[in-house]
Each structure stands twice: as C-alpha cells, then as structure tokens.
C-alpha cells in the first residue's frame, strides 16, 4: 500500500497521519484479511533556515521538523493497524542539477522526499524512524465497525466511498 495525504484532497492536511492507518485497514479489508506492508509514504520537505519555493499546484512542501513529527505519528498508527512494516519514500533528495529536467522541472515537490539531503546529512525523520527499530507488531485485529458497506458496494464507486469511509473512521 502507498499513502500520501498531500494527494488525497479529502485528508485533513499534508500531515494527516490518520490517513495511513485508515488506508492500511481498508487494504486489509479489501484483501480479505491479508497482511499489509505499507510500502510507501513520506512528505516533500524544506528546511526552515533556507529559502524554498512551494510545490506547483496543490502539493505543499512541509517543514522538515513537521515531517519528522508526522513520520512518528504515522509509523505508530501503522504499527497499531497491524502492518507488517512500513517504508518511506525515498532515500535521498535529488541533485539540484536535475531540477530543470522532467519531471522535476514541473513537479518541484518530487525533489525533496528524501530522508537524507543532497549533502548527505540526515533529515529529522531519520531519528523518528530509528525510534521504531525493534518495535513489536500489533495484532491486525478484526473487521472495523466503521465499514458499513460490502466490498462489492465499495468497488462500485471507490472515489466516493473512500472519503465517506474516512470520515466514519475519524469519528469512531
């Protein structure tokens, strides 16, 4: 599963860490109870002490400290959701020499999803991840009561059902 609140218009902002356990639980439900590996999440970042330009369109950049706090809450939420594990996107920021080349010329936010900066220094999210080393996996649990439709009903209109079910999940 991949999940990014920056791409979900119905999420509660760029650092809505509740979106990830919701997506993990939905994926388990749609997969008939199978285990879930959350294989991609993260945020495009900027450093407070350096000038930056926001991403184009509706995709915001997030301060590195806020991204680290989001990472902590997201990892704990995914652990509580019973995920096998989680990976962050991606290893390092892209070299500035690539900024004028596609897709980075238009998708500015894609330049800074890394856990390490171009100079090789770790961003604060690396420490947040390190805190989870050796954390025990929580049991996946049973069906969630906030899911009030069948899989077949969901599959008739996922774009409408996801935001509706997310609201129910948040209200539980």
Tens-place pLDDT, residues 39-49: 999 999 998 88
The predicted model gives 46-71 an average pLDDT of: 80
What is the share, in percent, of the chain residues with pLDDT greater than 90?
79
Is it the case that residue 57 has pLDDT exceeding 70?
A: no
Instruction: Give the pLDDT of residue 9.
Output: 93
Q: What is the pTM of this model?
A: 0.91
The 3-class SS string of 71-122 reads HHHHHHHHHHCCCCEEEECCCECCCHHHCCCCCCCCCHHHHHCCCECCCCCE
Instruction: Give the list of residues 6+ apart from residue 139 with CB closer than 8 angstroms, or none.
Output: 82
The angle at the Cα of 47, spanning 42 to 53, to the nearest 5 degrees, equals: 85
Domains and CATH numbers, the chain: 5-142 (3.20.20.80)
How far is the first Cα of the chain from the last one, in angstroms, to the nearest whole number? Answer: 23
């Amino acid at each position: 599963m991949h999940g990014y609140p920056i791409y979900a218009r119905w999420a509660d902002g760029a650092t809505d860490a509740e979106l990830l356990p919701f997506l993990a639980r939905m994926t388990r439900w749609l997969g008939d109870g199978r285990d879930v590996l959350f294989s991609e999440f993260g945020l495009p970042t900027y450093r407070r002490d350096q000038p930056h330009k926001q991403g184009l369109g509706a995709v915001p950049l997030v301060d590195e400290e806020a991204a680290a706090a989001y990472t902590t809450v997201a990892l704990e939420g995914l652990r509580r959701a019973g995920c096998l594990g989680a990976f962050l996107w991606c290893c390092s920021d892209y070299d500035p020499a690539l900024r004028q080349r596609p897709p980075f010329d238009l998708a500015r936010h894609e330049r800074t999803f890394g856990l390490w900066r171009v100079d090789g220094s770790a961003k604060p999210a690396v420490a947040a991840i390190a805190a989870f080393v050796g954390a025990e996996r929580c049991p996946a649990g049973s069906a969630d009561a906030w899911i009030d439709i069948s899989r077949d009903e969901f599959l008739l209109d996922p774009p409408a059902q996801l935001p509706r079910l997310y609201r129910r999940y948040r209200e539980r």
